[in-house]
Structure 1
Amino acid sequence: MERKWWTLLAVSVATFMLLLDITVVNVALPSIRADLGASFTDLQWVFDAYTLTLAALVLTAGSLADRLGRRKMFAIGLVVFSVASFLCAVAPDPAFLNGSRAVQGVGGAIMFAVSLALIAQEFTAGRERGAAMGVYGATIGIAVAVGPLIGGALTDALGWESIFYLNVPIGAAALVVTFVKLRESRDPNATRVDWPGVALFSASLFLLVLALVRGNAEGWTSALILGLFAASAVLMAGFVAVELRVADPMLPLGLFRRRAFTGVQLAAFAVSASLFALFLYLTLYLQNYLGLSPFQAGLRYLPITVLSFLIAPVAGLLLSRVQARLMLGVGLAMVGVGLLLMGGIQPDDSWTALLAGFLIGGAGVGLINPVIADVAVSVVPKERSGMAAGINDTFRQVGIAVGIAVWGAVLVARGTDRFTELAGPVAAGAPAHELVEAASSGSLGQALAAVPVPARQVLTVAARDGFLSGLNLVLFLGALVSLVGAALALWLVRENEIERSA
């Protein structure tokens, strides 16, 4: 088999492992909460600890790969990710688990930053690269499709720890292929790493997400939350100032003068901040509100995931025939419509209320994933593909991290208002936002164990309805984000800025 196909195989296996880990964790969250005593905030950090480190370091990883060697860095990422997965599996408490998830993000950052660059260096621009991106997109579809099923089956049969143990043999196999079959490459013009930019960007993003996650508990006008927002803004302003002045910036702001480059980053952010970030709260609905087991919840995700898997390779083949902006615009619009159809859930609805939205949203994801991957590395010179891939992955992961934090804050705030409205006098003295969080995370029974039975029934109904009200609101807002992303992609992405021939 030719080297380029071995490269595509190694990258696809690594991508499969990364995405499988995310989708598998989704359905295991209630089991993690029960075994480790995790709170609603802890469950948010299971995702955000991973995505924060990934988003903060992926650009640095791309720069290091261009300088030190892409194959070498890819192998390092596989090792770090696999070891961190083992640490997640043996975690004794939520803090250890989330710390291990942060280390996973370091390995994930390295692999994400290098994966698209490895494909771009082996496949010539045009139809050949489009076909490779179709395979890459199909891999994403497979991981999303089988992730909930594998996660549900493993969690039900062997416990949630097994979902992390699974990464160890997969990572070992990908490592062997990397060393035996892949070609080393680097940017001959690569320069030093922008460490001040890394520090400022990482700190700003961390403080922003921390403020969003803690806002409901501490109070949005409290000195702590306002201070976190202010510090995040100051650090981000410092980051921009450094990037404009430093000789070798982590994020070359001049690239954003290319409309297509800006458009594809906004498209990646939009789909990540909308549908992908909302998967966490949809899973909590399926398991903690409807009472489905992890495997049953995984089965319910099949419509959205199978369609994504089937459409991704077709989208890859269409890349050389259909304008990228049309595919991005249509795909993001479909995701937005899908989320609108998922909203409006009523207390007596079953999971089938989500079905139409799952089908349309899944088709939209399948359409845009290969397009984003291809355009991200085709709007810059080939030797800068590592940096371009890193920037795109940064926008993806920032979208997920910020999306999870924002939607969680909105869900609990809206749910608290609804709880107070429904519970009336019974709610006096009750920790409203804590009960809505408990309804979300599946620990409402424990939270109300000491409350007298008549009041417990009223508070239970109010808290569950509050969660549902919050979920409907964030689904609507997520749809708006996706639809705005569709409009921006149609406006900004232009075919004449995309490399379509060798």
Structure 2
Amino acid sequence: MSEHRDSARYILATASATCALIVLDTNVVAVSLPSIARTFQASFADVEWVVSAYMVAFASCLLPAGGLADRFGRKRMLLLGLAVFFLASLGCGLAPSAALLDLARAAKGVGAAMLLTAALAVIANTFHEGPERIRAWAVWGTCMGLATTVAPLVGGVITQWLGWRWIFLLNLPVCAVLAASASRFIKESRNPAAGPIDAAGSALFGLALALGIWALIEAPAAGWASWLTGARLSAAALLLVGFIQVQRLRAHAMVDLALFRQPRFVAAVLAMFGYAACAQVMMTFLPLYLQNAFGLSAIAAGLGMLPFALAMVAGPYLGAALARQVSSMTLLSAGLLLIGAGNLLTARVAGAASYGLVALGMVTTGLGAGLLNGDTQKAIMAYVPRNRTGMASGISTTTRFTAIVTSVGVLGAVLAARTKAAFYARPEVTPAIRRTLDTDFLSRVLAGDIAQASLHLPPAVRASLAGAAHASFASGFAAALYLAAAAAAMIAVAVRWLANRASEEAPAHVSGCTPSREPS
């Protein structure tokens, strides 16, 4: 028995550390974006693609990766994912151009999808039920919180002291250690009844997501009313409809659509989407805001993110205390309302140049995010049978990262549009000065490269434009946060409505899995 417990601990440590590596790598890059922009003289759209190329590939591959883990073995997929992640990290660290960096980031997203779904399935398959399972997910959640906490500071330190390339190159020894640990401690497991791989569904979903994000990122330049933006969005919608139709017709689909007939399951997925779209996405935009609006260095921006990250670590403890008093659905709604309130507060004070007030908003948003991080994961996994844990982890993580990448596109477009309008409305930006600015000036300012973008201007003009750019970016950031706050509030209402609807229906049994019986 003692040997079994020791083995389980090593398995949990390896799988949780693997997930933490993904979270760390996902969040650590944001602090380095201005440095990457300066290296490649990149525009704001180019910088968005450094995040989005990874996220699109990641989210597109999560569902098929979950199915592959069930079919071919979770340990095998974990080791293969580590190999892909290792090689892609090397490619990112050595990339000679922004385009090649984006390609390496996309390959890294594929490896990350294989890693995350396999690791989550290993945990779910090893710890079956009762207190053991609860403790396992608590350990996993703690690892995620710690990775989220240290990511901005780690990114800032590495970027400022070693250079942004080392953010990727330092993954290499970590991958080697995790591969050795997985080979030794994790036992192979798979779903013996797994069906054929859904290649058509995988391609349709991936293309739909990529086209949709492409449309959102390029819309500020192409125009929201342009035929090009409309064509991309329409094609994405048609591909998504095709994906749903394929899932309906296939006997062994990647997604069991019957699950979406359960209001509680839909509420859990919706809460996960809201949490990621309205809170986790701030890990991308907050570092840009702190560096652009306050003029902070990479390390200072990383330190400035700590109130948000530390609140995310404290959030689960708040959730555990509330869980003794309220139902899980009420908890999900409360977390979303906290996120909405935090975003609203931060938006209200974004232009006040007061870090203390901004930090208060970060803490509020972080508490809501921490409250939802583990609870949404558990709620989704609870509705899927053990032999399809790969599918469950695929649904959960696909929802999370699809929400992030969609939100990066939408909020990034709002941020860019509002910043541009605010900048050209500033009194410092006279018609004479405006004529001296390059066509991509503001795009490079958004990416954090104002020093290079204004290098050709006289010193006095540069100083004046820097102040205007900082204030304008704060205005754009606030506009994006107002939208995120409204979205979080609406999703909280939807989750509450679905919970009320579930309480009026008889308990459903889907795919041999019994949903939670706690009151709504």
Q: Please, what TM-score do these two structures have when normalized by structure 1?
A: 0.93
Q: 1:89 to 1:268 in 2, by over 3 A?
A: same
What's 1:174 paired with? Answer: 178
Q: 2:157 aligns with which of 130, 142, 153?
A: 153
CA distance in 2, matches of 1:112, 1:500: 29
Residues 154 and 463 of structure 1, relative CA distance in 2, 3 Å threshold: closer
CA drift of 1:68 comes to: 0.6
2:499 pairs with 1:482: no
Contact 2:314 2:370 in 1 (8 A): yes
8 Å CA contact 2:152, 2:302 repeated in 1: yes
Match of 1:284 in 2: 288
Q: Does 1:294 align with 2:298?
A: yes
For 1:466, the equivalent position in structure 2 comes to 472
Q: Could you give the per-residue CA deviations for residues 24-66 of structure 1, whole angstroms, max 9, x where no partner exists?
A: 1111111112223222111111111111011101100010111
Task: Identify the range of structure 1 (422-431 vs 185-194) with the bigger mean alpha-carbon deviation.
Answer: 422-431
**Cα displacement (A) at 1:122:** 1.6
Superimposed CA distance per residue, residues 100-157 of structure 1 (whole angstroms, 9 cap, x where no aligned partner):
1111101111122122221111223343322211111111110011111111112222
Q: Tell me by how many angstroms 1:464 deviates.
A: 3.5
Range 28-37 or range 320-329, more displaced: 320-329
Instruction: After TM superposition, give the deviation of residue 311 of structure 1 in Å.
Output: 3.7
Is the contact made by 2:278 and 2:407 (CA closer than 8 Å) also made in structure 1?
yes
Deviation at 1:192, TM superposition (A): 0.5
Instruction: Compute the displacement of 1:257 (Å).
Output: 0.6
RMSD: 2.4
Where do residues 430-469 of structure 1 align in structure 2 (5 Å cutoff)? 434-451=440-457, 460-469=466-475
Please list every run of 5 or more consecutive structure 1 residues that lacks an aligned counterpart in the other structure. none
Q: Is the Cα–Cα contact under 8 Å of residues 152 and 295 in structure 1 kept in the other structure?
A: yes
8 Å CA contact 1:217–1:433 kept in 2: the answer is no
For residues 238 and 437 of structure 2, the distance between their equivalents in structure 1, rounded to whole angstroms, comes to 34
Contact 1:81 1:108 in 2 (8 A): yes
Do the aligned residues in 1 keep the contact of 2:271 with 2:376 (CA within 8 Å)? Answer: yes
One-letter amino acid of the structure 1 residue matched with residue 163 of structure 2: G
Distance change >3 Å, CA 170–CA 394, structure 1 → 2:
same
Match of 2:28 in 1: 24
One-letter amino acid of the counterpart of residue 205, structure 1: L
* Alpha-carbon spacing, 1:500–1:124, altered in 2? closer, same or farther (3 Å): farther
* 1:343 partner SS: helix
Q: What is the CA distance between 1:451 and its match in structure 2?
A: 5.0
Deviation of residue 312 (structure 1)? 2.9
Alignment check: 8 A CA contact 1:141 1:312 kept: no
CA distance in 2, matches of 1:325, 1:433: 49
Give the Cα–Cα distance (whole angstroms) in 2 for the partners of residues 340 and 178 of structure 1.
43
2:119 counterpart of 1:115: yes
Q: 1:2 aligns to what? A: 6
Q: Deviations over 1:247-298 (max 9, x none)?
A: 2222222220111221111111111111221322221111122121111111
Percentage identity across paired residues of the two chains:
36
Q: 1:126 to 1:357 in 2, by over 3 A?
A: farther
The answer to whether 1:498 aligns with 2:502 is no
Compare 412-421 and 47-56 and name the one that shifted more. 412-421
Q: Report the counterpart of residue 136 of structure 2 in structure 1.
A: 132
Task: Classify 1:312/1:86 alpha carbon distance in 2 versus 1 (closer, same or farther; 3 Å).
Answer: farther
Equivalent residues of 1:438, 1:444 under 8 A apart:
yes
Shift of 1:319: 6.2
Quick one: which of 213, 235, 252 aligns to 2:256? 252
TM-score after normalising by structure 2:
0.90
Q: Distance in 2 between matches of 1:482 and 1:424?
A: 39
- The 1-side partners of 2:293 and 2:202 are apart by 40
The answer for the alignment partner of 1:225 in structure 2 is: 229
Whether the 8 Å contact between 1:416 and 1:432 is mirrored in structure 2 is no
1:1-400 aligned within 5 A: 1-312=5-316, 315=319, 323-345=327-349, 347=351, 349-400=353-404
Whether contact under 8 Å (1:85, 1:167) holds in the other structure is yes
Contact map agreement 2:294 2:470 (CA 8 A) in 1? no
Maintained 8 Å contact 2:280/2:369 = no
